[in-house]
Amino acid sequence: MTELIKGGLILAGSIFMFLAALGVARLPDLLTRMHATTKAATLGATLIMLAVAIHFAQVAVVARALGVILFILMTAPVAAHVIGRAGYFVGARLWGGTVKDELKPNYDPLTHELKSGMETEDNARRESGGADGS
């Protein structure tokens, strides 16, 4: 029974990793490639680490395997966010079929300045009023 679960977990994990690699090789632009790698590769590594924990079944090894899982789950979104942001800022080309780029009107590529999209007259007056202390 344990063997069955272990084998299933290993196979599922490696297939998810293969799907991530297929996505990174076939998808058209940076953001869609990140969409493939971040989620599928994280799930694949998690499943294989679960298989390792089931295989050894000792407290020390299970703790380390869970530590790897926790670390991957915590760092993968951060790394994806940071590299996606950097990629957008250096002008990675988006796919031709992109429907909506919500960052484009709010981002100035020369000064690297981001606006929130909420800069109405009311807000500006309120902010300057707060700076005056009135």
Partner 1 sequence: MSTVILVSLAVMALALCLAFVRLFRGPSLPDRVVALELFSSILVGIIGVIAIATDVPSLLDVAIVMALMAFMATIGFARFLERGGPRDD
Q: How many residues bind partner 1 (CB under 8 A)?
A: 52
Identity at 27, one-letter amino acid code: L
Tell the burial category of 47 from Cβ atoms under 10 Å away from its Cβ (0-12, 13-18, 19+): buried
SS3 108: strand
Question: Which of 79, 103, 114, 124 touches partner 1 (CB under 8 A)?
Answer: 79
> Least distance to partner 1 from the beta carbon of 119, Å?
23
109 in the Ramachandran plot: left (φ > 0), alpha (ψ -120 to 50) or beta?
alpha
Report the C-alpha gap between 31 and 48 in whole angstroms. Answer: 26
For position 95 contacting partner 1 by CB under 8 A, the verdict is no
Positions touching partner 1 (CB under 8 A) are 3, 6-7, 10-11, 13-15, 17-18, 20-22, 24-25, 30, 33-34, 37, 41-42, 44-45, 48-49, 51-52, 55-56, 58, 60-61, 64-65, 67-68, 71-72, 75, 78-79, 82-87, 89-90, 92-93, 112
